[in-house]
Each structure stands twice: as structure tokens, then as C-alpha cells.
């Protein structure tokens, strides 16, 4: 229901053009969701308050020098394609403006602890009083119901509670390796985006809005089916069988299936052979065709039994070889193999990403020229976009309070004066 | 379980899911949102049926717990799309479908060109979910979930800083498929939403590799802006510099993650009160720690070293569940590092109805599954009926719905094209 943005329409339509999202999100999980909605064409309006800024606005790196709240590369990465207004929801006039904005919007997303919006006077029922068709998304650690609804999480603690942390690591280590980042912040954000787009489709069909209550831990538990069902069906507890298995396979059974060292410091290649055919092709290009006829390695059950010897021999062969050249050689023989890439590799060293123009240069008033990353869904007719860098704090106050809500300049100045805006 | 009479977000949407295992999760998400998802299986069955674990550890076409989960709520039609007759039947089905999901790499054998199909049936949303996308030098690279996680970035951030010589570690359980699955499902829903106004479908090219590139949190901005790689560390975030550990062992042999340290002074004092009520944490009363900045992890501050020493000692002397409940009550977002089986013992998830029971009548048992990733108030997620038996709906779909005669179906079956 939005009018065209002040810059005018983009050259081609995106799938969520015309959808307006009120964005009460912070840190990573919520902003991941609204970044995707923004990429898909929605007009995303971040509701910020100068007194309680999203700490990501201070997050490193600051590519052009530390000058918050508008210098964070982390924020610019997570919050591209969004607008920003500054308003205080705890001020009665500020709350009134937010309610007016709800009246002309389609979706409201927040990822605060479970009682915050309720305490502000913005429960789902109160939102519906302004706009019965609103789609409200509450994204919290434990959801808005149940005995532990007042517990809280961050990405890492949610991962730990869901079981996901325990499922990554070496079997003999005293602790799991877990995830080196907030995987569940991203996944909960994607989960919310999927639910929102489905709910938008339902609303266009029926006129009905709804409340989507999302628990970050539940989104994680929903990704542990193999281990969970092995327990509920086979009564096998996760740690009974030497889990987590390092880089060896769980299912489908495969061997070899591991990381092997290559030339240089801390460089590794992942090689996985699920079928005997893949194993035979591997042996042919490995300089060790006799592995194929070795009784210990001839069949998958044998290779699974002798994984220690198998991994040791393959590791001796890969050590000292150039990882990328080895990957090309194995791939030429149709063997699943890939070097372990970090973020810098994706940006600098990845020919596939380069060929598909995964990065693009954009400008930002404080950060200056910088790289932004890719669009993950390529629509043939209504492309997603990455046109705007992240908003400078409050850059859309004039657009939202003046153009959208129709307040006079004098009234806006008055609201700044009394603390409702800012 | 929710009842089947409620509205569903994707009601009336039919999806022909031709995916290999890496796409099964996408189809499951669409089924959970209410689409009629028809898994098109090759003769002999989907490769997903041979992925374990298995019922009683015995492999078999109808015994894969992977299949039970990822095909739950779908219907099954067996059709050989690589035969002329099978493809012909499929294209007839596609005329009245809303979505086609396919996962064939573009330079390998595939039964149809997805772009051509999208042009041939203009209302259709055709999703190509492939390891590297439709273009580029790696588009036909041999692939597995682990190879995907290695090349895509997630794995590079995970591993041990405290065990020398160990490699990056890839998290288990098909996460390349999970990550890409959410993008793919969101893309399909967005395309269906757009179709409601334009009346037109389109083709979606989703590269699993590109999807993973946006799931590595701060590795991405450090790479995009500074070309600065991060150090991987056990049980905590990779970072530009080393940081303090987050995982601490308890008296009952479990682990607590303390990442969610209180930010406000009130919560901090409440946590200190809880710890000191157990007769520990003497140094936590240090006035320096009243300043939130002096409690901030990740900066290698002496005040934090002192704080963590007391906390580690407290955790080592107490039991996990008690620490977890006490810390959360004090406003600290600490957690237990649970295994998936342990989650079943937490009453909170049962109170929210997360776990769902599904009848598997052939095996005479009710099976508990992980349930909804989202609670939609008006169009609830549903597991739907148990995963389909091989070809369970072939006759229903091809005869009753598509209009083939039983003789025509019989000929397809005899030719090995349908099952």
C-alpha cells in the first residue's frame, strides 16, 4: 500500500513492491528477516530511538573510521534497502504516531523479548484496532506462550538449547565446536520471511491478517530431525554412538567423507564419496589406483570400518598439494570435492561468485564506496534488488511523518521538542 | 495436532516437487504452509528413501526416518521423467500446477529445461534449486551437503582454537539444504504473491552456494569491507581477534553457555545474588564489575578474566538445570548445551505444542516429530499425513485427477514409466 519512494520507482518491479513493513528489529535475527523483505521489494521502515539504538549501529568493522551511529559496516550489511525513522514508543505522542503508521502498513516485525511490545501498548489486539489486516511477527527465543516465555536468548544460547551446537564437533573433544556465528539468528530471520510471504499471499486471497509467533529455539529444533527421530523412533540418544562425528558422514553413509590438509597454513579440502562409483573415480585420479583393490577400501562397509586408515592415507596424499588445483582435478573426474572457503574467499577468490556478480559496488554517505553481497533468489521477471545502502539514522522522518502521515512541519518540530520524535 | 479444517496459507497451491534430496526440505516447507506437494519419484524411489537413520536400523524403502520427516505431508507419484511417455504425463500435470521444483544441475542430464517450461506455461512458478545456480564455471560441480558447506562459507567459521592442528568442522544434518530451502520457499511464496496481481509466473534460479554466503554473520562484513578473515574458536563466534570461552562444564557433566551476560546493572546484581546464594562468586562483588563495559566479553579485559574465573568455578560446582533456571530467572540468557534428544524433556516445548505425533499405520506406531518452525494464528503449519509410500498416489493423481484411463496407466506401469 505504499506510494513510490522519494527516489521514484525502480526500473523493474520486485515481487513485494507495494508492501510496507514496520521494522522494530535489532541485532541480527530480525534485521536478517527484514533485509530479505527489502531485497524482495518491500518498503521497510526501521523504527529507531536515539536513546536505545541498535547496538549493531556500533558494530565493527567501521571501514571509514568509527563515527556511529552511521559508520558501521556490519549495520550497512544487515540493513541495506531499509528506511529509518526516530520515534519514542514510550512517549504517548510517539506511540500515537506508530499506531497511525500501523494503519497504513502491511507487516510489523519485532524481535524483542516477549513482553516489550505488550508493555508499550502494541499487543497484537492493539495493532488490530489500528489495522485489522496487519501481519504481526514476534520473533523471540522462546515464543510468546509457554512456561518459559520470559526466558531470553541470543543466537548462541538458542543454538545450544536447540541441540544444534552439540551436533558440530570432534567426538573426542571435551566440548562441541558448535557454530562460529549466530546461525539461528539468520535461520530465524529466514523462517520469519518465509512465513510472512506466505501470510501475505493468504491475505491477498482472503483479506485476513494474522499473528506469526516465532521461537528461535523451535526454528533450530526443526532442523535436527535425523537425530531427534533416531531418539523418538529408535530410542537412541545422540551421544551413544560417538557423536558428533567431526567431518565424517552421518547420513547418507559415505567414506571417504572428511577434510584433508592441503599446501599452506590451515588450508583444507572436503572430499566425500557416497557411492562406489565416486570412490572408483577418486582412486583413478588419486595417483593411488591400488586403493580400489585394497580389501580394506573395496566396498563402502569396508571403508566405513577402516576410516582411520583411509583418512590417514588420503591426508598424506593431499598434504602439500595446492587445494584449488586438487579440487579442479577431482571435480574433473566428477568427485564431490571443495576447498574450505572463508568469507574473504567468497569475496575475493571464488570464480563462481565472480561469474555471477555476487558482489556489487554501492555508495553510502558516511562509509563511502563499498561492496555489498548478492541476491540469493534470481527471479526471471520481477528481480530482487540491492539498490540502497543502509539508512542514516532518521533519514526518512520527513517522508514518513510528513508525506505518509501528513504532519505539518510545525507539528513535527513540536514532536521533536516534546520528546516523541528523536 | 491442529485440525485439517483450518485455513492454510498456501491453500489451493499445487507443487510438483521433482527434487533430489537437497530440495526435499523446500517441498516440506511448502507442504507445511498448506500447499498440495506432489513428490515426483523416479522408478525405484527417491534417493531420500535410502538416507538414514532407519526404523530399527533396517534400511528399506518405507523405513527411512529422513524420508518420514522430509516427505511428511506430501503425496507420491512415481514417474520416469527421462522417458518420453513419463515426461508427457508430467507436462500435462504441469499445465494445471502452480509450482514446479527441480534440482538438476544445468549441464547434467535433465528431463526438461526449466526456463523453457516457465515460458511454455506462463502462470507457472518454476524453481531451480541447484548447488551453484544455472550459470558459472562451477554450475555442474559434483556436490554433497558437506562440500557445499565447505565451499559456501559456514564451515570456515566453525572449529577449535584450543586443539592444535584440527580442521574447520562442518555442522551435521543437511544444513546446506536447510539454508537454501528457506530462501527457495520464500522465493516461491513471493512469486505466488506477485502472481496474484500480475497473473504471471516466472523462473527462479536459486544457488545454494550463494544462499550460504549470507549466513556467516560478521564474516561477511569483515570480508566485504576489510578482506579480513576471522579466527574460528570452539563453541563461540569466530572473530577478528581471540575472545574468552563461552562454554563451561557443570558438576553433572554437562556444559553451560554463558554468552548472554546481563547488560543492566539490576540483572547483573540479580545474577551475582544467585551465584552468591550458593556460597560462591566472591570476586563478583568487585565494584569495577558494576560498570557494564567492564563485563563485556571479547576484549580480553582483566575484569572479565576475574569474572569468568568465578563463574567457571560456580558452574563446575553446580548442576546444569539449576544453573540454567537460576540464571534465566536473574535475566541472564545462559543456556544448557543440549543434545536433540534432551529437548524432548523440556515442558516448555510441549506446552507450545512443538512436537507432533503422526500415525504411521503400516508400522503400527505413532511417531513424534519436530514440528512447526512458526506458529501462524490463522493458517497453522501442519505436518500433514505421514510421508507417502512409494507411488501411493500415482493412480489417484494420474487417473482420478489427470484423467488417464486405468488401461493407460497399466501401460505406463508395464513399460516401467510409472509405479
Question: Are B347 and A170 within 8 A, CB to CB?
Answer: no
- Please state the pTM of the whole predicted model: 0.97
Question: Are A378 and B133 within 8 A, CB to CB?
Answer: yes
pLDDT tens, position by position, B329-371: 999 999 999 999 999 999 999 999 999 999 999 999 999 999 9
- What distance in Å separates the CA atoms of residue A274 and residue A385, rounded to the nearest whole number? 38
Residue B2 clears pLDDT 60, i.e. is over it? no
Adjacent-strand bridge partners of A361: A371
Interface test with A, best of B130, B188, B217 (most A CBs within 10 A): B217
- What distance in Å separates the CA atoms of residue B396 and residue B402, rounded to the nearest whole number? 9
Domain borders along chain B are: 14-214+351-414, 242-249+255-336
Domain borders along chain A are: 20-221+358-417, 257-340
A20-221+358-417 and A257-340 share one fold: no
Element (H, E) at A399: none
User: Looking at chain A, which residue has its C-alpha nearest residue B357?
Assistant: A232
Q: What is the DSSP string of B126-186?
A: EEEEESS-SSSTTTT----HHHHHHHHSTGGG-S-SSSTTPPP-PPSS-HHHHHHHHHHHH
* Cell of residue B120, nine digits: 511454455
- What distance in Å separates the CA atoms of residue B213 and residue A324, rounded to the nearest whole number? 19
Q: DSSP 3-state assignment of A337?
A: strand
Looking at beta carbons, which residues of chain A come within 8 Å of B15?
none
Residue whose C-alpha cell is 513540536: A414
- Say if strands B247-249 and B255-260 run parallel, antiparallel, or are unpaired: antiparallel
* Cell of residue B283, nine digits: 570476586
Looking at beta carbons, which residues of chain B come within 8 Å of A356?
133, 135-136, 207, 210
pLDDT for A319 equals 98
pLDDT for A8 equals 52
pLDDT for A5 equals 43
pLDDT for A4 equals 38
Longest dimension (CA), chain B: 86
* Cell of residue A344, nine digits: 574473504
Longest dimension (CA), chain A: 86
Which residue in B209, B302, B361, B53 sits closest to A338, CA to CA? B209
Pick the CATH number of A257-340 from 3.90.1010.10, 3.30.1540.10, 2.70.50.60, 3.20.20.220: 3.30.1540.10
Q: Do B218 and B237 contact (CB within 8 A), yes or no? A: yes
User: Looking at chain B, which residue has its C-alpha nearest residue A188?
Assistant: B373
pLDDT for B260 equals 87
Q: Give the phi and the psi of residue A136 in degrees, each rounded to 5.
A: -105, 130
* Cell of residue A255, nine digits: 567414506
* Cell of residue A299, nine digits: 566396498
Separation in Å, CA A311 to CA A43, A291, B332: 52, 12, 43
Question: Are B369 and A229 within 8 A, CB to CB?
Answer: yes
How many pairs of residues across A and B have Cβ atoms under 8 Å apart? 525
Nearest chain A CA: its distance from B172 CA (Å)? 6
Cβ of B222 under 8 Å from any chain A Cβ?
A: yes
Separation in Å, CA B203 to CA A15, A44, A377, A381: 13, 25, 10, 8
* Cell of residue A168, nine digits: 558440530
- What distance in Å separates the CA atoms of residue B235 and residue A160, rounded to the nearest whole number? 9
Q: DSSP 3-state assignment of A207?
A: coil
- What distance in Å separates the CA atoms of residue B334 and residue B308, rounded to the nearest whole number? 13
Interface test with B, best of A53, A144, A198 (most B CBs within 10 A): A198
Residues recorded for chain B: 419
Looking at beta carbons, which residues of chain A come within 8 Å of B63?
none
pLDDT for B88 equals 98
Interface test with A, best of B218, B381, B386 (most A CBs within 10 A): B218
CATH superfamily, with its number, for domain B14-214+351-414: Crotonobetainyl-coa:carnitine coa-transferase; domain 1 (3.40.50.10540)
User: Looking at chain A, which residue has its C-alpha nearest residue B34?
Assistant: A198
pLDDT for B3 equals 46
Radius of gyration of chain B (CA): 26
- Identify the segments of chain A with pLDDT beneath 70: 1-11
Which residue in B74, B141, B78 sits closest to B106, CA to CA? B141
Domain A20-221+358-417 belongs to what topology? Rossmann fold (3.40.50)
- What distance in Å separates the CA atoms of residue B148 and residue B155, rounded to the nearest whole number? 9
Separation in Å, CA A162 to CA A141, A153, A166: 10, 11, 9
Q: Which residues of A are catalytic?
A: 185
Give burial (CB, 10 Å; 0-12/13-18/19+) of B277: exposed
Mean pLDDT for all residues in chain A: 96
Q: DSSP 3-state assignment of B323?
A: helix
ipTM > 0.95, yes or no: yes
Question: Are B229 and A342 within 8 A, CB to CB?
Answer: yes
Mean pLDDT calculated for residue range B293-316: 96
Residue whose C-alpha cell is 518420514: B68
Which residue in B208, B210, B216, B214 sits closest to B154, CA to CA? B216
Cβ of B226 under 8 Å from any chain A Cβ?
A: yes
- What distance in Å separates the CA atoms of residue B310 and residue B281, rounded to the nearest whole number? 5
pLDDT for A6 equals 44
B236: Cβ contacts below 8 Å, ≥ 6 apart: A156, A178, A180, B243, B245, B246, B247, B259
Question: Are B335 and A190 within 8 A, CB to CB?
Answer: no
- What distance in Å separates the CA atoms of residue B15 and residue B35, rounded to the nearest whole number? 7
- Say if strands A370-372 and B125-130 run parallel, antiparallel, or are unpaired: unpaired
Question: Are B340 and A377 within 8 A, CB to CB?
Answer: no
Where do the H-state alpha helices sit in B300-405?
Answer: 302-316, 320-329, 340-343, 347-351, 394-395
Which residue in B119, B382, B59 sits closest to A251, CA to CA? B59
A229: Cβ contacts below 8 Å, ≥ 6 apart: B53, B65, B68, B69, B367, B369
Which residue in A247, A250, A246 sits closest to A227, CA to CA? A250
Nearest chain B CA: its distance from A395 CA (Å)? 23
| Beta-carbon count within 10 A of B287 CB | 7
Residue whose C-alpha cell is 543466537: A155
* Cell of residue B265, nine digits: 546493572
CB nearest A167 (choices: B172, B237, B365): B172
User: Looking at chain A, which residue has its C-alpha nearest residue B156?
Assistant: A342
Question: Are B224 and A359 within 8 A, CB to CB?
Answer: yes
Mean pLDDT for all residues in chain B: 96
Give burial (CB, 10 Å; 0-12/13-18/19+) of B42: middle
Q: Do B330 and A128 contact (CB within 8 A), yes or no? A: no
In chain B, positions 91-120, which contact chain A (CB-CB < 8 Å)?
Answer: 115, 118
Looking at beta carbons, which residues of chain B come within 8 Å of A147?
347-348, 351
pLDDT tens, position by position, B197-238: 999 999 999 999 999 998 999 999 999 999 999 999 999 999
Adjacent-strand bridge partners of B17: B39, B101
- What distance in Å separates the CA atoms of residue A103 and residue A82, rounded to the nearest whole number? 19
pLDDT for B105 equals 98
- What distance in Å separates the CA atoms of residue B216 and residue A113, rounded to the nearest whole number? 24
* Cell of residue B322, nine digits: 539449576
Where do the H-state alpha helices sit in A88-152?
Answer: 92-103, 116-120, 124-130
Residue whose C-alpha cell is 522462546: A142
Residue B116 clears pLDDT 70, i.e. is over it? yes
Amino acid at each position: 500500500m505504499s506510494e513510490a519512494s522519494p527516489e521514484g520507482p525502480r526500473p523493474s518491479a520486485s515481487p513485494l513492491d507495494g508492501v510496507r513493513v514496520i521494522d522494530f528489529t535489532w541485532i541480527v535475527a530480525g534485521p536478517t528477516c527484514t533485509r530479505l523483505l527489502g531485497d524482495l521489494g518491500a518498503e521497510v521502515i526501521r523504527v529507531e530511538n536515539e536513546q536505545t539504538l541498535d547496538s549493531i549501529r556500533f558494530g565493527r568493522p567501521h571501514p571509514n573510521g568509527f563515527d556511529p551511529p552511521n559508520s558501521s559496516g556490519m549495520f550497512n550489511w544487515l540493513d541495506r534497502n531499509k528506511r529509518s525513522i526516530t520515534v519514542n514508543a514510550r512517549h504517548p505522542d510517539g506511540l500515537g504516531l506508530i499506531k497511525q503508521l500501523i494503519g497504513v502498513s502491511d507487516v510489523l516485525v519485532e524481535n524483542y523479548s516477549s513482553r516489550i511490545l505488550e508493555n508499550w501498548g502494541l499487543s497484537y489486539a492493539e495493532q488490530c484496532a489500528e489495522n485489522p489486516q496487519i501481519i504481526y511477527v514476534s520473533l523471540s527465543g522462546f515464543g510468546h506462550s509457554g512456561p518459559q516465555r520470559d526466558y531470553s536468548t541470543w543466537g548462541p544460547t538458542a543454538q545450544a538449547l536447540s541441540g544444534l551446537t552439540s551436533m558440530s564437533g570432534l567426538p573426542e573433544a571435551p566440548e562441541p565446536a558448535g557454530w562460529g556465528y549466530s546461525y539461528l539468528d539468520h535461520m530465524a530471520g529466514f523462517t520469519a520471511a518465509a512465513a510472512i510471504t506466505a501470510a501475505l499471499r493468504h491475505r491477498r486471497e482472503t483479506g485476513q491478517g494474522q499473528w506469526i509467533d516465532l521461537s528461535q529455539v523451535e526454528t533450530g529444533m526443526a532442523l535436527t530431525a535425523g537425530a531427534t527421530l533416531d531418539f523418538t523412533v529408535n530410542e537412541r540418544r545422540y551421544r551413544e554412538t560417538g557423536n558428533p562425528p567431526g567431518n565424517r558422514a552421518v547420513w547418507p553413509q559415505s567414506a571417504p567423507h572428511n577434510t584433508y590438509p592441503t599446501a599452506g597454513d590451515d588450508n583444507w579440502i572436503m572430499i566425500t564419496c557416497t557411492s562406489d562409483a565416486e570412490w572408483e573415480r577418486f582412486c583413478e585420479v588419486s595417483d593411488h589406483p591400488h586403493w580400489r583393490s585394497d580389501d580394506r577400501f573395496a566396498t563402502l562397509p569396508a571403508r566405513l570400518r577402516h576410516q582411520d586408515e583411509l583418512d590417514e592415507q588420503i591426508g598424506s596424499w593431499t598434504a602439500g598439494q595446492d587445494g584449488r588445483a586438487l579440487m579442479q582435478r577431482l571435480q574433473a573426474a566428477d568427485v564431490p570435492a571443495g576447498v574450505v572457503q572463508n568469507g574473504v574467499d567468497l569475496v575475493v577468490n571464488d570464480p563462481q561468485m565472480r561469474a555471477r556478480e555476487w558482489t556489487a559496488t554501492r555508495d553510502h554517505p558516511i562509509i563511502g564506496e563499498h561492496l555489498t553481497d548478492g541476491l540469493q533468489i534470481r527471479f526471471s521477471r520481477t528481480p530482487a534488488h540491492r539498490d540502497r545502502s543502509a539508512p542514516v539514522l532518521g533519514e526518512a522522518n520527513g517522508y514518513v511523518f510528513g508525506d505518509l502521515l501528513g504532519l505539518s512541519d510545525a507539528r513535527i518540530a513540536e514532536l521533536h521538542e516534546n520528546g516523541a520524535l528523536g | 495436532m491442529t485440525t485439517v479444517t483450518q485455513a492454510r496459507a498456501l491453500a489451493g497451491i499445487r507443487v510438483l516437487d521433482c527434487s533430489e534430496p537437497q530440495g526435499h526440505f523446500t517441498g516440506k516447507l511448502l507442504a507445511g504452509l498448506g500447499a498440495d506437494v506432489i513428490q515426483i519419484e523416479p522408478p525405484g524411489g527417491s534417493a531420500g528413501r535410502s538416507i538414514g537413520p532407519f526404523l530399527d536400523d533396517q534400511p528399506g524403502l518405507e523405513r527411512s526416518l529422513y524420508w518420514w520427516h522430509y516427505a511428511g505431508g506430501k503425496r507420491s507419484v512415481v514417474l520416469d521423467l527421462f522417458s518420453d511417455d513419463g515426461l508427457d504425463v508430467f507436462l500435462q500435470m504441469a499445465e494445471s500446477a502452480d509450482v514446479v521444483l527441480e534440482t538438476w544441475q544445468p549441464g547434467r542430464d535433465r528431463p526438461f529445461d526449466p526456463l523453457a517450461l516457465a515460458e511454455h506455461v506462463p502462470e507457472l512458478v518454476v524453481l531451480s534449486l541447484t548447488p551453484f545456480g544455472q550459470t558459472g564455471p562451477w554450475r555442474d560441480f559434483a556436490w554433497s551437503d558437506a562440500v557445499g558447506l565447505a565451499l559456501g562459507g559456514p564451515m570456515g567459521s566453525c572449529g577449535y582454537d584450543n586443539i592444535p592442528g584440527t580442521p574447520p568442522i562442518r555442522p551435521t544434518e543437511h544444513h546446506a539444504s536447510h539454508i537454501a530451502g528457506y530462501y527457495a520457499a520464500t522465493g516461491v511464496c513471493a512469486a505466488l504473491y506477485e502472481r496474484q496481481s500480475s497473473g504471471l509466473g516466472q523462473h527462479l534460479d536459486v544457488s545454494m552456494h550463494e544462499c550460504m554466503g549470507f549466513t556467516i554473520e560478521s564474516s561477511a562484513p569483515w570480508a566485504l569491507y576489510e578482506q579480513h578473515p576471522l579466527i574460528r574458536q570452539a563453541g563461540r563466534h569466530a572473530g577478528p581477534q581471540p575472545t574468552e570461552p563461552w562454554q563451561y562444564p557443570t558438576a553433572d557433566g554437562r556444559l553451560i553457555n554463558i554468552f548472554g551476560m546481563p547488560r543492566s546493572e539490576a540483572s547483573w546484581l540479580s545474577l551475582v545474588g544467585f551465584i552468591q546464594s550458593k556460597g560462591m562468586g566472591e570476586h563478583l562483588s568487585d565494584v569495577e564489575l558494576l560498570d557494564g563495559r567492564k563485563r563485556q566479553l571479547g576484549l580480553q579485559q582483566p575484569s572479565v578474566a576475574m569474572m569468568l574465573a568465578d563463574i567457571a568455578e560456580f558452574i563446575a560446582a553446580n548442576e546444569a538445570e539449576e544453573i540454567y533456571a537460576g540464571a534465566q530467572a536473574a535475566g541472564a540468557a545462559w543456556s544448557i548445551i543440549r543434545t536433540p534428544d534432551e529437548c524432548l524433556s523440556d515442558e516448555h516445548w510441549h506446552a507450545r505444542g512443538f512436537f507432533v505425533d503422526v500415525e504411521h499405520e503400516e508400522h503400527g506406531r505413532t511417531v513424534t516429530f519436530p514440528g512447526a518452525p512458526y506458529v501462524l494464528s490463522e493458517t497453522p503449519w501442519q505436518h500433514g499425513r505421514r510421508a507417502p509410500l512409494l507411488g501411493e498416489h500415482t493412480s489417484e493423481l494420474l487417473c482420478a485427477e489427470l484423467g488417464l484411463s486405468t488401461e493407460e496407466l497399466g501401460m505406463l506401469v508395464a513399460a516401467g514409466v510409472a509405479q
